[in-house]
Structures are given as C-alpha cells and as structure tokens.
C-alpha cells in the first residue's frame, strides 16, 4: 500500500471492479459539484462501498469516462471506469471547502498484480465459448475475467481483499469452475423435458 491520500468520496451501495464501466445518475447538489470538479480538473474520485458488511472499508477509485446526458435540473447521467481500489482510513462528511465528502485512503494498486496464468486463460476462453460470447480483447487481465463473471457483492469484497495474484487467480478459478459446471448442466439438460 502507498501513503495516505485525500480524495473525494461518493458512498454508494456498489463496488466496481478494476476495468468495470459503471453508469451513475448524479442529482444531489454536492455530487453535482463533484462532477464539475472532476470535469474541470480531470481528477478521479472514490466510490466507497457503503454497506455494513464492508468492515475493511473497501472502495473503488473511478475516472469519468463520459457524460451521457445533462438535464435542465442540473442532474447528469455519467459513466465512470474503475481504475484502482482502496481502503478508507478516515471519512470526512465534507471535504472542506467543498460540499461533497472525502476520505483519506490507501490505494491497493490493483492493476499491479493482474496477470493471468495460461491455465486460467484457457479455462476462461472455454467458458466464453460455452456462453457463446466473444472475447473482445486477446489481452485481458484477471479483473476482466472477474467482470465477465458478474460477481455478487459478497464475492466482490472477497476478491478485492485478496492482494496477491496467486490468491486472486485461485479465487477466480473456483468461481469459473462453478460457472462452467452450471453452463455445462444447462447445455446438457436443454432438450430434456419431463412431463408429469
């Protein structure tokens, strides 16, 4: 972990994974101010997973990708991309002089340990074929695989708490095995109807 950094923080009940694109609707005045600062200063901000199960105070560092729509009311629809993860050390209800909250965080440098073993890569490609899905990029990392698996919130927290490549790959390998098993079963039972 790096040194402590102060960043704007947006508490939400979501936990984006590195590389994930997330749509957000910005309507509160304090977050409209945050969006303005993000646009003008090209800064990143944190999404703190605001859930009682988040004892480690995990969050995702995101960067603005695009503004989809601006409303006359001042609200906006935006898309952000997760570029890192963090652990929150201290939360500030207001990152003075701004209206929006902030926090002191330790970045986890999630992209540093993101390579994929040949075995996991082959298993992932088999899974994608089974799903009849294309792999957009032949250069993918462990987070891309995690995003394809659409992990639930509990698994997202578990996954992001794993700080080594080996542990992340083992975790994703187990989830991939389960998903492949379910898909295999669906394919085999697709044409088997039982009448009563």
Task: Give residue 196's pLDDT band: very low, low, confident or very high (50, 70, 90).
Answer: low
For the stretch 116-175, pLDDT in tens is: 999 999 999 888 888 888 776 667 899 999 999 989 999 999 999 998 889 999 999 999
pLDDT computed for residue 119 by the predictor: 93
Mean pLDDT in residue range 45-55: 92
| DSSP codes, the chain | ----EEEEEEEES--PPTT-EEEEEE-SHHHHHHHHHHHHHT--EEEEE-STT-TT-EEEEEEEEEEEEE-TTS-EEEEEEEEEEEEEEEEES--TTSSS-EEEEEE--TTTT----HHHHHHHHHHHHHTT---S-SS--HHHHHHHTT--HHHHHHHHH--SHHHHHHHHHHHHHHHHHHHHHHHHHTT-----
CA distance linking residue 48 with residue 44, whole number of Å: 13
CATH architecture of 5-107: Roll (2.30)
Question: In the chain, which residues fall in CATH 2.30.130.40?
Answer: 5-107
pTM of the model: 0.88
**CB-side exposure of 115: number of CA atoms within 13 Å?**
4
Q: Cα 124 to the chain's mean position, in Å?
A: 19
pLDDT computed for residue 18 by the predictor: 96
């Amino acid at each position: 972990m790096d040194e402590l950094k102060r960043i704007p923080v947006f508490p939400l009940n979501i936990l984006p994974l590195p590389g994930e694109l997330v749509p957000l609707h910005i309507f509160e005045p304090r977050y409209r101010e945050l969006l303005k600062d993000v646009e003008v200063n090209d800064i990143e901000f944190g999404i703190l997973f605001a859930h009682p199960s988040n004892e480690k105070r995990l969050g995702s560092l995101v960067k603005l990708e695009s503004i989809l729509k601006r409303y006359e009311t001042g609200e906006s629809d935006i898309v952000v991309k997760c570029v890192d993860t963090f652990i929150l050390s201290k939360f500030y209800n207001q990152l003075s002089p701004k209206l929006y909250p902030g926090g002191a965080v330790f970045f986890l440098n999630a992209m540093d340990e993101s390579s994929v073993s040949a075995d996991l890569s082959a298993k992932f490609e088999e899974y994608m074929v089974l799903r009849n899905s294309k792999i957009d990029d032949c250069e993918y990392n462990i987070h891309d695989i995690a995003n394809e698996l659409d992990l639930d919130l509990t698994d997202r927290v578990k996954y992001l708490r794993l700080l080594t490549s080996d542990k992340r790959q083992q975790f994703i390998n187990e989830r991939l095995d389960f998903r492949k098993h379910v898909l295999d079963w669906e394919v085999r039972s697709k044409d088997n109807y039982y009448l009563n």
